[in-house]
Structure 1
């Protein structure tokens, strides 16, 4: 059995207190060609896409690793890489973010190119048939010293080459592929999509998955009963701790082999779903590595994937420099300077708001999820007068200076801005964030800020709150405790 307390190869120890992660899988190079289509070609009924802009980004396992690194986590990626131009391009994208341990690759690195018109995909072109064909001593050492492992399998040999080493200490999360191997027994969480789960469950035990026989109606792949049956069967077949079948906009269905738990998406959000599975797997692996229960990890992963899609998916990612939880501390007292710096680098500005009086676990979970959406998080806080008008006499319990100081101390918070009005609309107009986050106990109609965000192309996102956590309940409980201990005299 490998020593899980051994030093971690990914940059030593985590910069942000988060558990380092080793990602094993098949890297791709993804490319988007985005333009306009206003006419059809004269020689065929196909759109003519003009004025294309090109954006290159990590794909496959490299995307999962990149997203984990953007979360502020130290990451090592073990993947097939060669000496071809696509491999060199991918290394340039990854080198500032993580340590890369290459596996020998036969053929060129796979590339996936999407052509989009008005933001909608119209064509995808794939090239490159490279496969990782053997393990290396360096790769085995990285796995044996890892404190947490995510397998992001894209069916191109990396998981096969390292299967025996992966079996020594089963991964936290295995995101499977129909052309790849089954997860090793003991994997804590396996995360197939609904159609993948159907194919895995339909295959005879011990054999590869059958090929697709043709398109199926979406209702069949997303049917909850089918997904529940498939998940339960796969828990037993793979001897996994749990299987979470991802259901797209419906969320995910988590099974330990019996009655499943449906974790719904936090809202009806629409956007580019490219990369959502990698966002789900990277978030779940990170949360499990940090000590979350499986159900908590799946809930966090659903929220993160939903917000990721709403923010534009993988196509909206930009390269802004290494994700370091302390990198923007110099701007903690200057939210406007922070926003200008992130925006100048092509990054995504996220803002969240509230009173944050008696900061509790629901607040922290919301802010952590919000930070994962983009490149910085600005928290907009009600002044004392604003809280008093909204909540009544006796509030806030905690004065503004203390609330700001506690928020700034959170690793996920980049900067704090204060507003004195009843709503943060004026402040948001000054900051102009790309994404505005509120707790899931709101309805979209209750948020006057939503229309304001839309006026400059921003997006309002609802994230789930932890049930049963609220400042009002905490204050009432504290008052009751004081009354009991003082015999009714709370002076």
Structure 2
């Protein structure tokens, strides 16, 4: 599905460490930093999650040209980011945790920002979407008059889900669903002079009339949500979930709601599914469970992947693609290499280890048995594809295996879209047949030298002499 996310992006930074002593300068704990993790927040989180779900996502937002923006661009790999002229620094929220206990949060660049500019490309992304999520974080994107006009036109054709913010703009008339949380809904109702005891129902009815939307879905955390539409109210329970970090639940819900409405579900069913999706997202660790760039002292950047099962021999293709998307979404570098890998030997191991050192994950594109026979002859492969994949996955440097049946890995590469494609040989990277394809999405090709006197053919010939 083509989904456009409109809104404000933030950079979320988590500094995780341990504290075993107090500072001699003041009675405060000294945090020994274990790692630093960065990810896209706000509208960027909505876009990241939807892209990981396999949707074609365009993000209409404002990005600066500072260091924070460079981290955001890496974190938004896999998302088409459309932005106008930068007008304000990147808002950055840095959380310091000791173990799982939050200690302090630092906000930088979060002062009110001027209304950002728009471009024709940004407006076209709104007009061509099959579903739209507006993730308003009060940074001015939804106050742009051209953006608002485009959204006002879009509500007549596609479902638009609007996640509001107290410092943001009023939703345009005719939005399919507005999704305030309970505190936001009650605060808006109180500001209009309703009683301080206003509950979700009364607040929802007021906002439904005020905003002129088809529905208002008031989210209530562990209590689920309340759906208000055409004067009717429907409670939607949330599955029981052990939540350690609620960050990102509203973003997950808004994105899922837009997808379900765009796929043709009725309002009540789409809302119930969205609540379930948000609960499942939190059960999986919430925003913190996404693949994020991690910096460990003296170790350089690595990527931590939580909740991902790497590919096994019975189901080779989907998880390799999932891994590539997760690493890109977290700002990491995806490295891929390919070949038959029949009779795995030391030359293979050295090439694979060198490839893994170039990025944050290594995915091996493996020729199927039929593909090997076409390339090498009727007596090959010596080892079946299941065993070849299992042996490759046993290597610490290999993160996933994707099997392809064609004579070349081009279709496989198009799906994985690696940042770096590695091949062994004594030719230049430009001579590789895949060079132009990989360059098409901004990737590059790298060659590593063949290991002399180490080859499958030579090993097979030696084995034949002793058999």
TM-score range, shorter chain: 0.5 to 0.7
> What is aligned with 2:88?
107
SS at 1:105 equivalent: coil
Cα distance between partner residues in 2 of 1:172 and 1:251: 21
Root-mean-square deviation (CA, aligned residues, Å) is: 3.0
Cα distance between partner residues in 1 of 2:232 and 2:91: 40
SS at 1:241 equivalent: coil
> What is aligned with 2:354?
none
Match of 1:122 among 65, 82, 103: 103
> What is aligned with 1:203?
191
Cα distance between partner residues in 1 of 2:55 and 2:203: 33
Unaligned runs of 5+ residues in structure 1 are 1-18, 211-219, 321-327, 348-491
Cα distance between partner residues in 1 of 2:179 and 2:278: 13
> What is aligned with 1:372?
none
TM-score with structure 2 setting the length = 0.60
1:160 and 2:143 aligned: yes
CA distances 1:274-331 after superposition (whole Å, capped 9, x unpaired): 11111111111111111111111211111111121121111121059xxxxxxx9x96
Distance 1:343 1:40, change over 3 A: farther
Distance 1:345 1:120, change over 3 A: farther
- Is the CA contact 1:131–1:158 (under 8 Å) kept in the aligned structure 2? no
1:181 and 2:162 aligned: no
SS at 2:239 equivalent: coil
Unaligned runs of 5+ residues in structure 2 are 294-307, 328-467
CA distances 1:29-68 after superposition (whole Å, capped 9, x unpaired): 1111111233444554543322330111111100001111
Measure how far apart 1:261 and its partner are: 1.2
Distance 1:257 1:120, change over 3 A: farther
Measure how far apart 1:88 and its partner are: 1.8
- Is the CA contact 1:80–1:131 (under 8 Å) kept in the aligned structure 2? no
TM-score with structure 1 setting the length = 0.57
Matches within 5 A, 1:35-46: 35-46=17-28
Measure how far apart 1:118 and its partner are: 1.2
- Is the CA contact 2:52–2:326 (under 8 Å) kept in the aligned structure 1? no
- Is the CA contact 2:68–2:90 (under 8 Å) kept in the aligned structure 1? yes
CA distances 1:363-410 after superposition (whole Å, capped 9, x unpaired): xxxxxxxxxxxxxxxxxxxxxxxxxxxxxxxxxxxxxxxxxxxxxxxx
Measure how far apart 1:253 and its partner are: 1.0
Measure how far apart 1:202 and its partner are: 2.2
Return the index of the structure with the highest Cα Rg.
Answer: 2
SS at 1:277 equivalent: helix
SS at 2:61 equivalent: strand
> What is aligned with 2:417?
none
1:288 and 2:273 aligned: no
Match of 1:151 among 117, 134, 138: 134
Moved over 3 A (4+): 38-47, 129-132, 330-333, 335-347
1:98 and 2:71 aligned: no
- Is the CA contact 1:233–1:257 (under 8 Å) kept in the aligned structure 2? no
Measure how far apart 1:89 and its partner are: 1.6
- Is the CA contact 2:216–2:229 (under 8 Å) kept in the aligned structure 1? yes
> What is aligned with 1:142?
125
Distance 1:108 1:76, change over 3 A: same
Measure how far apart 1:104 and its partner are: 2.4
> What is aligned with 1:54?
36
Measure how far apart 1:256 and its partner are: 0.9
1:334 and 2:307 aligned: no
Distance 1:113 1:292, change over 3 A: same
Cα distance between partner residues in 1 of 2:84 and 2:326: 32
